[in-house]
Amino acid sequence: MNRRTNAARALASGALAIAWAVPLAWSIETAVRSSHDAVSNGLFWTEPPNLGNFVDAWNSAPFPLYYVNTVIIVAGILAMQMITVTLAGYAFGRLSFPGKGPLFALFLLQMMLPATALVLPNYQTMRVLGLIDNRLAIMLPAFASGFGTFLMTQTFKALPREFEDAAHMDGANWWQVLWHVYVPLGRPAVVAFGVVSVCYHWNDFLWPLIVTNTPASRPLTVGLAAFTQSSESGEAWQLIMAGTLLTAIPLLLAFFVFQRRFISSFIQSGLR
C-alpha cells in the first residue's frame, strides 16, 4: 500500500509539474522562432532558433525604464509592508489595548474584499492627492497588508513568552524585544510574506494600469500590455512572447536560485 501510495503521489506530482512546465516551454519555443517562421507551423521550425526576438523586443519598448519602475515599486512596497505588518503583528499578537478584537477583525475583513472593490475609492484618493501617473500612487494603497498582519500576528502569538520576559529582565524595551527577539524567531514567516508580496506586486496589472498614463511610471506588466498593442509588435507573436519572457525571467531566476530557501520558509511558517 505504501509503495502504491508513493507511486500515485509521484505520478500526480509529475503530472502537475508537466502541466506547469508546458506553457513555459511553449513560450520559450515561440520566443526563439525566426520572424519568418510562422507560429502556424506548429512545433516544426523552418529556420534555426535564435535570440534575436529578445533584442528586438528590448529595443521596441522602454523595457529598462519599466524594469526600474517595477523594482522601485516592488522594493518600496515591500520595505513599508515589512515595517507595518511587523509592528501590527506585534501589537495584535503580544499587546493588550481597548478595541483590539474589532480592529483585528477589520484587518481580516480586508482579506475578504476583492481588490476591484477598492479601485474607485483608491483612485479618487490618489486624484485628490495629485498622484495620478506617479509611482507613489501604485505603492500607497499596498503599504498595509491584511494578510501580512494576520500572518505575523499568528506567528508572534505562537512564540514562547519566556523569551520576551528574559529580554525585559536584561533591560530591553519593547522595540528592542521586537527587533532582537520576535523578528529573528519569526524570520521564516517574514521571508514567506516577502515572497508573496514581491510576486504579487511584480505581476500586478489592474491598479497600475488605472493610475498610470505614461511610460515614466509604468511597471513591466502595463508596459508589456502597451507593447503588445503597439505597431512594432502587431501580430508578431515571437516578439510578444519574447517581451512576456523578459517580464517573467527575473522572478523565474530568483525562484530557481533561492528555491530551497523559499520552500523552507513556507514550510516553517505553516503555509502549504
What would the grid cell of residue 150 be? 494576520
Q: What is the residue-averaged pLDDT of the chain?
A: 85
Any domain includes 261: yes
Any domain includes 117: yes
Provide the phi-psi class of 45: left if phi over 0, else alpha when psi is between -120 and 50, else beta: beta
Any domain includes 222: yes
Average pLDDT estimate for 150-178: 87
Any domain includes 73: yes
First to last CA, the chain: 25
pLDDT of residue 272: 39
Global pTM value = 0.86
Instruction: Please check the confidence at residue 40 and state whether its pLDDT lies above 60.
Output: no
Residue type, 271: L
pLDDT band per the 50, 70, 90 thresholds, residue 44: low
Any domain includes 206: yes
CATH number at residue 167: 1.10.3720.10
Using one digit for the tens of pLDDT, what is the confidence trace for 101-123?
899 988 888 888 888 888 999 99
Dist. CA 18–CA 22, nearest whole Å: 6
Query: For residue 200, what are the domain limits?
Result: 60-268
226 compared with 259, residue with greater pLDDT: 226
Dist. CA 259–CA 52, nearest whole Å: 30
Instruction: Please check the confidence at residue 49 and state whether its pLDDT lies above 90.
Output: no
Any domain includes 6: no
| Total domain count, the chain | 1
Question: Lowest mean pLDDT: which of 5-9, 79-83, 141-145, 255-259?
Answer: 255-259
Using one digit for the tens of pLDDT, what is the confidence trace for 193-205?
998 899 999 999 9
pLDDT of residue 77: 97
Return the closest-CA partner of residue 136 out of 195, 61, 203, 217: 217
Query: Coil, helix or strand for 211?
Result: helix
Any domain includes 205: yes
pLDDT of residue 112: 84
Any domain includes 230: yes
Q: Residue 14 — φ and ψ, nearest 5°?
A: -65, -40
The residue assigned the cell 483612485 is 123
pLDDT of residue 232: 55
CB neighbours of 148 closer than 8 A, spacing ≥ 6?
Answer: 81, 84, 85, 89, 193, 197
The residue assigned the cell 511610460 is 215
